[in-house]
Structure 1
Amino acid sequence: MEDKYISISCIPLPTFIQGGYAFFDEGENHPNRNDLQYFVLMIIVKGQLFIAEDGHQYTLNPGDIFILLPHHHHYSWKPVEQSTEYYWLHFSVAGKWTQENKPVDVSSKVDIPTLHYFTPTVTLYLKKNRHITDEVPAFKLINRIFKNSAKQNNVGFWQAQQQFIDLLQIFQEKTKNESTSTQLAERIERFLRDHFDEKITNATLSREFHVHPNSIALSMKKTFGMTPTTFLTKYRLEEAAKHLLTTDEPINQIARNVGYNNIYYFSTIFKQHYAMTPTAYREKFKH
Protein backbone atom coordinates (compact mmCIF):
# COMPACT_ATOMS: atom_id res chain seq x y z
CA MET A 1 0.00 0.00 0.00
CA GLU A 2 1.32 3.46 -0.94
CA ASP A 3 2.56 5.79 1.78
CA LYS A 4 0.24 8.45 3.15
CA TYR A 5 1.33 11.65 4.89
CA ILE A 6 -0.72 13.84 7.21
CA SER A 7 0.32 17.49 6.97
CA ILE A 8 -0.91 19.69 9.84
CA SER A 9 -0.63 23.45 10.27
CA CYS A 10 0.92 24.11 13.68
CA ILE A 11 -0.68 27.52 14.24
CA PRO A 12 -2.74 26.83 16.33
CA LEU A 13 -0.84 23.87 17.79
CA PRO A 14 -2.41 20.39 17.98
CA THR A 15 -3.92 19.73 21.40
CA PHE A 16 -3.71 16.52 23.44
CA ILE A 17 -7.19 15.51 24.62
CA GLN A 18 -6.88 12.13 26.33
CA GLY A 19 -5.08 8.82 26.07
CA GLY A 20 -4.85 5.31 27.42
CA TYR A 21 -3.58 1.78 26.99
CA ALA A 22 -5.75 -0.75 25.13
CA PHE A 23 -5.87 -4.52 25.62
CA PHE A 24 -7.51 -6.92 23.16
CA ASP A 25 -7.78 -10.67 23.67
CA GLU A 26 -7.80 -13.17 20.82
CA GLY A 27 -11.03 -12.89 18.83
CA GLU A 28 -11.86 -9.30 19.87
CA ASN A 29 -12.32 -6.37 17.48
CA HIS A 30 -11.37 -2.71 17.55
CA PRO A 31 -14.47 -0.49 17.94
CA ASN A 32 -16.35 0.40 14.76
CA ARG A 33 -16.64 4.20 14.58
CA ASN A 34 -17.27 6.96 12.05
CA ASP A 35 -18.06 9.97 14.24
CA LEU A 36 -14.96 10.43 16.43
CA GLN A 37 -13.95 14.09 16.24
CA TYR A 38 -10.30 13.56 17.15
CA PHE A 39 -7.18 12.21 15.49
CA VAL A 40 -6.13 8.90 17.07
CA LEU A 41 -2.41 8.23 17.40
CA MET A 42 -1.76 4.53 18.04
CA ILE A 43 1.57 2.85 18.95
CA ILE A 44 1.51 -0.94 18.94
CA VAL A 45 3.28 -2.58 21.89
CA LYS A 46 2.36 -6.25 21.57
CA GLY A 47 0.52 -8.58 19.19
CA GLN A 48 -1.04 -7.58 15.88
CA LEU A 49 -3.92 -5.26 15.08
CA PHE A 50 -5.99 -5.45 11.90
CA ILE A 51 -7.36 -1.93 11.43
CA ALA A 52 -9.22 -0.41 8.48
CA GLU A 53 -10.07 3.17 7.61
CA ASP A 54 -12.51 4.03 4.83
CA GLY A 55 -12.05 0.60 3.26
CA HIS A 56 -8.22 0.59 3.36
CA GLN A 57 -6.87 -2.32 5.41
CA TYR A 58 -3.71 -2.16 7.54
CA THR A 59 -1.89 -4.78 9.62
CA LEU A 60 -0.05 -3.21 12.55
CA ASN A 61 2.83 -4.89 14.40
CA PRO A 62 4.86 -3.98 17.52
CA GLY A 63 6.70 -0.70 16.97
CA ASP A 64 4.21 0.49 14.36
CA ILE A 65 2.69 3.96 14.65
CA PHE A 66 -0.65 4.62 12.99
CA ILE A 67 -2.86 7.72 12.81
CA LEU A 68 -6.62 7.57 12.31
CA LEU A 69 -8.36 10.64 10.90
CA PRO A 70 -11.24 12.47 12.64
CA HIS A 71 -14.76 11.89 11.27
CA HIS A 72 -13.58 8.97 9.11
CA HIS A 73 -14.80 5.37 9.33
CA HIS A 74 -12.39 3.03 11.15
CA TYR A 75 -12.92 -0.53 12.32
CA SER A 76 -11.30 -4.00 12.55
CA TRP A 77 -11.18 -5.79 9.23
CA LYS A 78 -10.70 -9.03 11.17
CA PRO A 79 -10.45 -9.98 14.88
CA VAL A 80 -7.07 -10.04 16.58
CA GLU A 81 -5.44 -13.48 16.51
CA GLN A 82 -3.38 -13.05 19.69
CA SER A 83 -3.24 -10.84 22.77
CA THR A 84 -2.71 -7.31 21.46
CA GLU A 85 -1.81 -4.11 23.31
CA TYR A 86 -1.21 -0.52 22.23
CA TYR A 87 -1.08 3.07 23.42
CA TRP A 88 -3.68 5.46 22.03
CA LEU A 89 -3.77 9.24 22.18
CA HIS A 90 -6.61 11.47 21.00
CA PHE A 91 -5.60 14.90 19.75
CA SER A 92 -7.47 17.79 18.22
CA VAL A 93 -6.42 20.09 15.40
CA ALA A 94 -8.13 23.48 15.09
CA GLY A 95 -6.04 24.53 12.09
CA LYS A 96 -5.83 23.23 8.54
CA TRP A 97 -4.68 19.72 7.70
CA THR A 98 -4.65 17.30 4.79
CA GLN A 99 -3.73 13.68 4.02
CA GLU A 100 -1.92 13.12 0.74
CA ASN A 101 0.58 10.77 -0.90
CA LYS A 102 3.41 13.18 0.02
CA PRO A 103 4.04 15.93 2.60
CA VAL A 104 2.26 19.16 1.68
CA ASP A 105 2.88 22.67 3.01
CA VAL A 106 -0.27 23.77 4.86
CA SER A 107 -0.85 27.46 5.50
CA SER A 108 -1.81 28.75 8.91
CA LYS A 109 -5.43 29.36 9.78
CA VAL A 110 -4.22 32.48 11.58
CA ASP A 111 -2.61 35.37 9.70
CA ILE A 112 1.09 35.52 10.59
CA PRO A 113 2.80 38.94 10.34
CA THR A 114 6.15 38.67 8.61
CA LEU A 115 7.56 42.06 9.55
CA HIS A 116 8.66 41.02 13.05
CA TYR A 117 8.06 37.28 12.94
CA PHE A 118 9.26 34.60 10.57
CA THR A 119 9.45 30.82 10.67
CA PRO A 120 10.52 28.66 7.71
CA THR A 121 7.53 26.35 8.06
CA VAL A 122 4.40 26.02 10.16
CA THR A 123 3.59 22.51 8.95
CA LEU A 124 4.01 19.27 10.88
CA TYR A 125 4.50 16.23 8.65
CA LEU A 126 3.43 12.87 10.06
CA LYS A 127 3.57 9.59 8.17
CA LYS A 128 0.23 7.83 8.58
CA ASN A 129 1.86 4.46 9.15
CA ARG A 130 5.50 4.11 10.15
CA HIS A 131 7.73 1.87 12.23
CA ILE A 132 10.13 2.90 14.98
CA THR A 133 13.03 0.66 16.01
CA ASP A 134 13.57 2.14 19.48
CA GLU A 135 10.19 2.44 21.19
CA VAL A 136 11.49 3.00 24.73
CA PRO A 137 11.94 6.83 24.58
CA ALA A 138 8.48 7.24 23.04
CA PHE A 139 6.86 4.94 25.61
CA LYS A 140 8.54 6.83 28.48
CA LEU A 141 7.30 10.14 27.12
CA ILE A 142 3.76 8.83 26.62
CA ASN A 143 3.63 7.62 30.22
CA ARG A 144 4.81 11.03 31.41
CA ILE A 145 2.04 12.66 29.38
CA PHE A 146 -0.52 10.38 31.03
CA LYS A 147 0.96 11.00 34.49
CA ASN A 148 0.84 14.78 34.10
CA SER A 149 -2.65 14.86 32.59
CA ALA A 150 -3.88 12.77 35.54
CA LYS A 151 -2.74 15.45 38.01
CA GLN A 152 -5.76 17.54 37.01
CA ASN A 153 -4.08 20.86 37.80
CA ASN A 154 -2.70 23.71 35.72
CA VAL A 155 0.91 22.61 35.95
CA GLY A 156 0.10 19.05 34.92
CA PHE A 157 -2.07 20.25 32.02
CA TRP A 158 0.63 22.45 30.50
CA GLN A 159 3.37 19.89 31.02
CA ALA A 160 1.24 17.23 29.29
CA GLN A 161 0.59 19.57 26.34
CA GLN A 162 4.28 20.43 26.01
CA GLN A 163 5.25 16.78 26.16
CA PHE A 164 2.63 15.86 23.57
CA ILE A 165 4.14 18.38 21.13
CA ASP A 166 7.52 16.79 21.87
CA LEU A 167 6.06 13.38 21.02
CA LEU A 168 4.79 14.69 17.69
CA GLN A 169 8.26 16.10 17.01
CA ILE A 170 9.78 12.67 17.64
CA PHE A 171 7.42 11.13 15.09
CA GLN A 172 7.51 13.92 12.51
CA GLU A 173 9.16 13.56 9.12
CA LYS A 174 12.29 15.70 9.18
CA THR A 175 12.62 18.66 6.83
CA LYS A 176 15.61 18.59 4.50
CA ASN A 177 16.76 22.11 5.33
CA GLU A 178 17.68 21.29 8.95
CA SER A 179 21.35 20.55 9.58
CA THR A 180 22.41 17.45 11.49
CA SER A 181 23.70 19.67 14.30
CA THR A 182 20.37 21.50 14.57
CA GLN A 183 18.42 18.25 14.60
CA LEU A 184 20.67 16.92 17.39
CA ALA A 185 20.26 20.11 19.43
CA GLU A 186 16.48 19.98 19.08
CA ARG A 187 16.43 16.36 20.24
CA ILE A 188 18.61 17.25 23.25
CA GLU A 189 16.42 20.23 24.09
CA ARG A 190 13.27 18.06 24.04
CA PHE A 191 14.98 15.41 26.18
CA LEU A 192 16.01 18.01 28.78
CA ARG A 193 12.50 19.45 28.98
CA ASP A 194 10.88 16.03 29.23
CA HIS A 195 13.31 14.68 31.87
CA PHE A 196 14.20 17.86 33.77
CA ASP A 197 13.13 16.31 37.08
CA GLU A 198 15.67 13.49 36.76
CA LYS A 199 19.42 13.43 37.34
CA ILE A 200 21.02 14.45 34.03
CA THR A 201 24.76 14.75 33.41
CA ASN A 202 26.95 15.09 30.32
CA ALA A 203 27.46 11.33 30.51
CA THR A 204 23.67 10.83 30.55
CA LEU A 205 23.29 12.84 27.33
CA SER A 206 26.26 11.13 25.71
CA ARG A 207 24.73 7.70 26.37
CA GLU A 208 21.27 8.80 25.25
CA PHE A 209 22.36 10.30 21.93
CA HIS A 210 25.53 8.24 21.27
CA VAL A 211 27.53 11.43 20.74
CA HIS A 212 30.63 12.80 22.49
CA PRO A 213 29.82 15.41 25.20
CA ASN A 214 31.79 18.06 23.31
CA SER A 215 29.61 17.61 20.21
CA ILE A 216 26.49 17.85 22.37
CA ALA A 217 27.65 21.10 23.95
CA LEU A 218 28.66 22.59 20.58
CA SER A 219 25.35 21.75 18.91
CA MET A 220 23.35 23.25 21.80
CA LYS A 221 25.44 26.44 21.88
CA LYS A 222 25.19 26.85 18.12
CA THR A 223 21.40 26.35 18.05
CA PHE A 224 20.23 27.73 21.41
CA GLY A 225 23.18 29.86 22.53
CA MET A 226 23.74 27.92 25.76
CA THR A 227 25.15 24.65 27.04
CA PRO A 228 22.89 21.76 28.08
CA THR A 229 23.68 22.49 31.74
CA THR A 230 22.66 26.13 31.43
CA PHE A 231 19.50 25.22 29.55
CA LEU A 232 18.55 22.58 32.14
CA THR A 233 19.08 24.96 35.06
CA LYS A 234 17.05 27.69 33.37
CA TYR A 235 14.19 25.32 32.57
CA ARG A 236 14.14 23.79 36.06
CA LEU A 237 13.91 27.20 37.68
CA GLU A 238 11.11 28.27 35.33
CA GLU A 239 9.16 25.14 36.28
CA ALA A 240 9.84 25.82 39.96
CA ALA A 241 8.49 29.36 39.57
CA LYS A 242 5.29 27.95 38.01
CA HIS A 243 4.83 25.59 40.95
CA LEU A 244 5.41 28.38 43.45
CA LEU A 245 2.67 30.52 41.90
CA THR A 246 0.08 27.86 41.01
CA THR A 247 0.31 25.39 43.90
CA ASP A 248 0.61 25.36 47.69
CA GLU A 249 3.32 22.67 47.66
CA PRO A 250 6.12 23.08 50.23
CA ILE A 251 9.39 24.49 48.91
CA ASN A 252 11.29 21.26 49.53
CA GLN A 253 8.73 19.30 47.52
CA ILE A 254 8.93 21.77 44.63
CA ALA A 255 12.71 21.45 44.70
CA ARG A 256 12.45 17.67 44.34
CA ASN A 257 9.78 18.00 41.64
CA VAL A 258 12.16 19.97 39.45
CA GLY A 259 15.22 17.80 40.01
CA TYR A 260 16.93 19.27 43.11
CA ASN A 261 17.26 16.95 46.10
CA ASN A 262 19.16 19.56 48.12
CA ILE A 263 16.77 22.37 49.07
CA TYR A 264 19.62 24.67 50.14
CA TYR A 265 21.33 24.36 46.75
CA PHE A 266 17.97 24.87 45.04
CA SER A 267 17.31 28.04 47.06
CA THR A 268 20.78 29.37 46.25
CA ILE A 269 20.40 28.79 42.51
CA PHE A 270 16.87 30.20 42.54
CA LYS A 271 18.02 33.39 44.30
CA GLN A 272 20.87 33.83 41.83
CA HIS A 273 18.38 33.67 38.96
CA TYR A 274 15.42 35.61 40.40
CA ALA A 275 17.23 37.84 42.92
CA MET A 276 15.05 36.53 45.77
CA THR A 277 14.43 33.30 47.63
CA PRO A 278 11.65 30.90 46.56
CA THR A 279 9.62 31.92 49.63
CA ALA A 280 9.97 35.61 48.86
CA TYR A 281 9.07 34.99 45.21
CA ARG A 282 5.86 33.19 46.20
CA GLU A 283 4.91 35.90 48.72
CA LYS A 284 5.52 38.70 46.21
CA PHE A 285 3.84 37.31 43.09
CA LYS A 286 1.20 34.81 44.22
CA HIS A 287 -2.24 36.38 44.54
Structure 2
Amino acid sequence: MHKVLQSLQLSLLNVGYAHLDKHWNYDNVVSPFTRMYYISKGSAKVYHNDQTFDLKPGYMYLIPSFTYSRYKCDEYHEQYYISFFEEIKNGLSIFNLKSFVYELKAKDTDIAYFKRLLEINPNRALVNDDPEVYDNRPTLQTFKKKNEKLSSAFYLETNGLLRILLSKFIKDHNRLVIKNTTRNNLSQVLSHISENLDKELTINELASYCHLSTDYFSRIFKQKFGMRPNKYIQSKRVERAQLLLLTTDNSLKQIAEKVGLENLSYFSRVFKSFTGKTPGNFRKEELNV
Protein backbone atom coordinates (compact mmCIF):
# COMPACT_ATOMS: atom_id res chain seq x y z
CA MET A 1 0.00 0.00 0.00
CA HIS A 2 2.79 2.45 0.86
CA LYS A 3 4.36 1.93 -2.56
CA VAL A 4 1.08 3.07 -4.09
CA LEU A 5 0.93 6.11 -1.79
CA GLN A 6 4.44 7.10 -2.85
CA SER A 7 3.00 8.02 -6.24
CA LEU A 8 0.40 10.39 -4.73
CA GLN A 9 0.38 13.77 -6.44
CA LEU A 10 -1.37 16.80 -4.93
CA SER A 11 -1.80 20.05 -6.87
CA LEU A 12 -3.18 23.18 -5.25
CA LEU A 13 -6.05 24.95 -6.98
CA ASN A 14 -7.36 27.53 -4.54
CA VAL A 15 -6.79 28.64 -0.97
CA GLY A 16 -8.46 31.52 0.80
CA TYR A 17 -10.56 32.86 3.64
CA ALA A 18 -14.26 33.53 3.05
CA HIS A 19 -17.08 35.39 4.82
CA LEU A 20 -20.26 33.61 3.72
CA ASP A 21 -23.96 34.19 4.33
CA LYS A 22 -27.32 32.78 3.22
CA HIS A 23 -26.26 33.13 -0.44
CA TRP A 24 -23.93 30.17 0.15
CA ASN A 25 -26.68 27.76 -0.88
CA TYR A 26 -25.79 25.39 -3.73
CA ASP A 27 -27.09 22.01 -4.83
CA ASN A 28 -25.76 19.34 -7.16
CA VAL A 29 -22.11 20.26 -6.70
CA VAL A 30 -19.82 17.64 -8.23
CA SER A 31 -16.27 18.90 -8.72
CA PRO A 32 -13.22 17.14 -10.18
CA PHE A 33 -11.13 18.22 -7.19
CA THR A 34 -11.05 17.72 -3.42
CA ARG A 35 -12.19 20.40 -0.96
CA MET A 36 -11.08 21.05 2.59
CA TYR A 37 -12.47 23.59 5.08
CA TYR A 38 -11.63 24.95 8.48
CA ILE A 39 -14.56 26.80 10.08
CA SER A 40 -13.61 29.76 12.26
CA LYS A 41 -16.99 31.40 12.94
CA GLY A 42 -20.71 30.78 12.52
CA SER A 43 -22.43 27.67 11.19
CA ALA A 44 -23.58 26.00 7.98
CA LYS A 45 -24.40 22.56 6.60
CA VAL A 46 -22.85 20.33 3.96
CA TYR A 47 -24.43 17.15 2.62
CA HIS A 48 -22.37 14.41 0.95
CA ASN A 49 -21.75 10.66 1.12
CA ASP A 50 -25.27 10.20 2.53
CA GLN A 51 -24.39 12.25 5.60
CA THR A 52 -25.22 15.71 6.92
CA PHE A 53 -22.34 17.67 8.42
CA ASP A 54 -23.04 20.63 10.69
CA LEU A 55 -20.12 22.94 10.02
CA LYS A 56 -18.99 24.41 13.32
CA PRO A 57 -16.08 26.53 14.53
CA GLY A 58 -12.90 24.70 15.42
CA TYR A 59 -13.51 21.80 13.03
CA MET A 60 -12.05 20.73 9.68
CA TYR A 61 -14.07 19.14 6.87
CA LEU A 62 -13.19 17.12 3.78
CA ILE A 63 -15.19 16.59 0.56
CA PRO A 64 -13.61 14.09 -1.89
CA SER A 65 -13.38 14.78 -5.60
CA PHE A 66 -16.30 13.78 -7.83
CA THR A 67 -18.63 13.57 -4.84
CA TYR A 68 -22.18 14.87 -5.05
CA SER A 69 -22.62 17.52 -2.36
CA ARG A 70 -24.93 20.29 -1.23
CA TYR A 71 -24.05 23.44 0.76
CA LYS A 72 -26.36 25.57 2.85
CA CYS A 73 -25.79 28.51 5.20
CA ASP A 74 -28.84 29.92 6.98
CA GLU A 75 -27.15 32.99 8.43
CA TYR A 76 -23.37 33.46 8.45
CA HIS A 77 -20.08 31.66 8.75
CA GLU A 78 -16.38 32.16 8.02
CA GLN A 79 -14.02 29.53 6.68
CA TYR A 80 -10.52 28.84 5.44
CA TYR A 81 -10.87 26.73 2.30
CA ILE A 82 -8.53 24.70 0.13
CA SER A 83 -9.21 22.94 -3.16
CA PHE A 84 -6.72 20.63 -4.82
CA PHE A 85 -6.32 17.83 -7.34
CA GLU A 86 -5.21 14.46 -6.01
CA GLU A 87 -4.06 11.51 -8.06
CA ILE A 88 -2.20 8.27 -7.50
CA LYS A 89 -0.41 6.48 -10.33
CA ASN A 90 -2.35 5.82 -13.51
CA GLY A 91 -5.13 8.23 -12.64
CA LEU A 92 -6.30 6.34 -9.55
CA SER A 93 -7.75 8.26 -6.60
CA ILE A 94 -6.64 7.84 -3.00
CA PHE A 95 -10.34 7.79 -2.08
CA ASN A 96 -10.58 4.41 -3.83
CA LEU A 97 -7.86 2.93 -1.65
CA LYS A 98 -8.30 4.34 1.83
CA SER A 99 -11.19 5.04 4.20
CA PHE A 100 -11.64 8.63 5.32
CA VAL A 101 -13.45 10.56 7.98
CA TYR A 102 -14.94 13.85 6.80
CA GLU A 103 -15.08 15.85 10.03
CA LEU A 104 -12.28 16.42 12.57
CA LYS A 105 -11.63 18.64 15.55
CA ALA A 106 -8.79 20.89 14.43
CA LYS A 107 -5.59 21.25 16.44
CA ASP A 108 -3.65 24.49 16.70
CA THR A 109 -1.08 23.09 14.27
CA ASP A 110 -3.82 22.33 11.73
CA ILE A 111 -5.06 25.89 11.85
CA ALA A 112 -1.49 27.08 11.38
CA TYR A 113 -1.20 24.90 8.27
CA PHE A 114 -4.27 26.51 6.70
CA LYS A 115 -2.91 29.96 7.47
CA ARG A 116 0.54 29.11 6.16
CA LEU A 117 -0.86 27.77 2.87
CA LEU A 118 -2.73 31.03 2.42
CA GLU A 119 0.39 33.05 3.31
CA ILE A 120 2.68 31.38 0.76
CA ASN A 121 0.00 31.17 -1.93
CA PRO A 122 -1.45 34.68 -2.14
CA ASN A 123 -3.90 35.59 -4.88
CA ARG A 124 -5.27 32.04 -5.04
CA ALA A 125 -8.64 32.91 -3.49
CA LEU A 126 -11.93 32.31 -5.29
CA VAL A 127 -13.40 35.46 -6.78
CA ASN A 128 -16.89 33.96 -6.64
CA ASP A 129 -18.03 31.19 -4.26
CA ASP A 130 -20.61 29.82 -6.73
CA PRO A 131 -19.45 26.34 -7.88
CA GLU A 132 -20.86 26.98 -11.36
CA VAL A 133 -18.34 29.80 -11.64
CA TYR A 134 -15.21 28.24 -10.17
CA ASP A 135 -15.75 24.70 -11.56
CA ASN A 136 -14.98 25.99 -15.03
CA ARG A 137 -12.33 25.18 -17.57
CA PRO A 138 -10.44 28.49 -17.70
CA THR A 139 -9.92 28.42 -13.92
CA LEU A 140 -8.78 24.80 -13.93
CA GLN A 141 -6.34 25.40 -16.77
CA THR A 142 -4.52 28.22 -14.95
CA PHE A 143 -3.71 26.40 -11.71
CA LYS A 144 -0.64 24.65 -13.15
CA LYS A 145 0.83 27.93 -14.30
CA LYS A 146 0.35 29.44 -10.85
CA ASN A 147 1.98 26.45 -9.17
CA GLU A 148 4.92 26.65 -11.56
CA LYS A 149 5.49 30.28 -10.58
CA LEU A 150 6.06 29.32 -6.95
CA SER A 151 9.62 29.24 -5.70
CA SER A 152 11.06 25.76 -5.21
CA ALA A 153 10.84 26.19 -1.44
CA PHE A 154 7.20 27.30 -1.46
CA TYR A 155 6.25 24.62 -4.00
CA LEU A 156 7.65 21.86 -1.76
CA GLU A 157 6.16 23.43 1.37
CA THR A 158 2.74 23.72 -0.27
CA ASN A 159 2.81 20.07 -1.29
CA GLY A 160 3.96 19.02 2.18
CA LEU A 161 1.22 20.99 3.92
CA LEU A 162 -1.45 19.51 1.65
CA ARG A 163 -0.18 16.02 2.43
CA ILE A 164 -0.18 16.65 6.16
CA LEU A 165 -3.72 18.03 6.16
CA LEU A 166 -5.07 15.24 3.97
CA SER A 167 -3.38 12.61 6.15
CA LYS A 168 -5.38 13.80 9.16
CA PHE A 169 -8.59 12.48 7.62
CA ILE A 170 -7.34 8.96 6.79
CA LYS A 171 -8.66 6.24 9.05
CA ASP A 172 -6.03 4.09 10.74
CA HIS A 173 -7.16 0.85 9.14
CA ASN A 174 -6.88 0.04 5.46
CA ARG A 175 -10.06 0.14 3.44
CA LEU A 176 -9.00 -2.96 1.54
CA VAL A 177 -8.65 -6.11 3.63
CA ILE A 178 -8.25 -8.95 1.17
CA LYS A 179 -5.99 -11.94 0.74
CA ASN A 180 -2.33 -11.07 0.89
CA THR A 181 -1.49 -11.77 -2.74
CA THR A 182 -0.90 -9.13 -5.35
CA ARG A 183 -3.46 -10.47 -7.79
CA ASN A 184 -6.12 -10.69 -5.09
CA ASN A 185 -5.63 -7.08 -4.07
CA LEU A 186 -8.54 -5.03 -5.39
CA SER A 187 -6.39 -1.92 -5.43
CA GLN A 188 -4.55 -3.55 -8.32
CA VAL A 189 -7.87 -4.04 -10.11
CA LEU A 190 -8.73 -0.35 -9.68
CA SER A 191 -5.35 0.55 -11.12
CA HIS A 192 -5.91 -1.85 -14.01
CA ILE A 193 -9.31 -0.27 -14.71
CA SER A 194 -7.84 3.22 -14.61
CA GLU A 195 -5.03 2.24 -16.98
CA ASN A 196 -7.43 0.70 -19.48
CA LEU A 197 -10.49 2.93 -19.53
CA ASP A 198 -9.97 3.43 -23.26
CA LYS A 199 -10.29 -0.33 -23.84
CA GLU A 200 -13.02 -2.90 -23.44
CA LEU A 201 -13.20 -4.14 -19.84
CA THR A 202 -15.17 -7.26 -18.95
CA ILE A 203 -16.06 -8.69 -15.55
CA ASN A 204 -14.62 -12.05 -16.61
CA GLU A 205 -11.30 -10.36 -17.36
CA LEU A 206 -11.22 -8.52 -14.03
CA ALA A 207 -12.21 -11.62 -12.08
CA SER A 208 -9.51 -13.61 -13.86
CA TYR A 209 -7.02 -10.85 -13.04
CA CYS A 210 -7.74 -11.61 -9.36
CA HIS A 211 -7.94 -15.39 -9.82
CA LEU A 212 -11.54 -15.29 -8.57
CA SER A 213 -14.84 -16.53 -9.93
CA THR A 214 -16.97 -13.89 -11.65
CA ASP A 215 -19.77 -14.06 -9.07
CA TYR A 216 -17.43 -13.90 -6.07
CA PHE A 217 -15.43 -11.07 -7.58
CA SER A 218 -18.61 -9.06 -8.21
CA ARG A 219 -19.80 -9.61 -4.64
CA ILE A 220 -16.57 -8.54 -2.92
CA PHE A 221 -16.18 -5.63 -5.31
CA LYS A 222 -19.61 -4.31 -4.37
CA GLN A 223 -18.88 -4.96 -0.69
CA LYS A 224 -15.70 -2.87 -0.85
CA PHE A 225 -16.80 -0.08 -3.18
CA GLY A 226 -20.58 0.08 -2.87
CA MET A 227 -21.37 -0.68 -6.52
CA ARG A 228 -21.08 -3.42 -9.08
CA PRO A 229 -17.92 -3.47 -11.25
CA ASN A 230 -19.74 -2.40 -14.43
CA LYS A 231 -21.26 0.64 -12.76
CA TYR A 232 -17.90 1.55 -11.23
CA ILE A 233 -16.22 1.35 -14.66
CA GLN A 234 -18.90 3.57 -16.19
CA SER A 235 -18.59 6.08 -13.34
CA LYS A 236 -14.82 6.29 -13.84
CA ARG A 237 -15.30 6.80 -17.56
CA VAL A 238 -17.72 9.64 -16.93
CA GLU A 239 -15.40 11.20 -14.33
CA ARG A 240 -12.49 11.15 -16.76
CA ALA A 241 -14.72 12.54 -19.52
CA GLN A 242 -15.76 15.41 -17.23
CA LEU A 243 -12.14 16.26 -16.54
CA LEU A 244 -11.23 16.12 -20.24
CA LEU A 245 -14.22 18.29 -21.14
CA LEU A 246 -13.13 20.85 -18.55
CA THR A 247 -9.40 20.88 -19.16
CA THR A 248 -8.83 20.09 -22.84
CA ASP A 249 -9.99 21.18 -26.28
CA ASN A 250 -10.48 17.58 -27.41
CA SER A 251 -13.55 16.92 -29.54
CA LEU A 252 -16.40 14.85 -28.12
CA LYS A 253 -15.36 11.99 -30.40
CA GLN A 254 -11.76 12.13 -29.14
CA ILE A 255 -12.93 12.17 -25.51
CA ALA A 256 -15.35 9.30 -26.12
CA GLU A 257 -12.48 7.24 -27.54
CA LYS A 258 -10.19 8.14 -24.62
CA VAL A 259 -12.73 6.82 -22.12
CA GLY A 260 -13.63 3.65 -23.99
CA LEU A 261 -17.06 4.73 -25.23
CA GLU A 262 -16.40 5.17 -28.94
CA ASN A 263 -20.06 5.24 -30.00
CA LEU A 264 -21.01 8.90 -29.52
CA SER A 265 -24.67 8.15 -28.95
CA TYR A 266 -23.86 5.58 -26.25
CA PHE A 267 -21.23 7.89 -24.73
CA SER A 268 -23.87 10.64 -24.48
CA ARG A 269 -26.42 8.30 -22.85
CA VAL A 270 -23.96 7.01 -20.27
CA PHE A 271 -22.67 10.50 -19.50
CA LYS A 272 -26.19 11.86 -19.06
CA SER A 273 -27.22 8.96 -16.83
CA PHE A 274 -24.56 10.04 -14.31
CA THR A 275 -24.60 13.83 -14.70
CA GLY A 276 -28.07 14.67 -16.00
CA LYS A 277 -26.49 16.45 -18.99
CA THR A 278 -25.10 15.46 -22.36
CA PRO A 279 -21.33 15.94 -22.81
CA GLY A 280 -21.92 18.79 -25.24
CA ASN A 281 -24.30 20.62 -22.90
CA PHE A 282 -21.98 20.03 -19.96
CA ARG A 283 -19.05 21.66 -21.80
CA LYS A 284 -21.21 24.46 -23.22
CA GLU A 285 -22.60 25.44 -19.82
CA GLU A 286 -19.17 25.44 -18.23
CA LEU A 287 -17.61 27.52 -21.00
CA ASN A 288 -20.47 30.01 -20.98
CA VAL A 289 -20.23 30.73 -17.24
Per the TM superposition, whether the score is higher than 0.5 is no
Larger of the two Rg values belongs to structure = 1
The TM-score with structure 2 as length reference comes to 0.40
The TM-score with structure 1 as length reference comes to 0.41
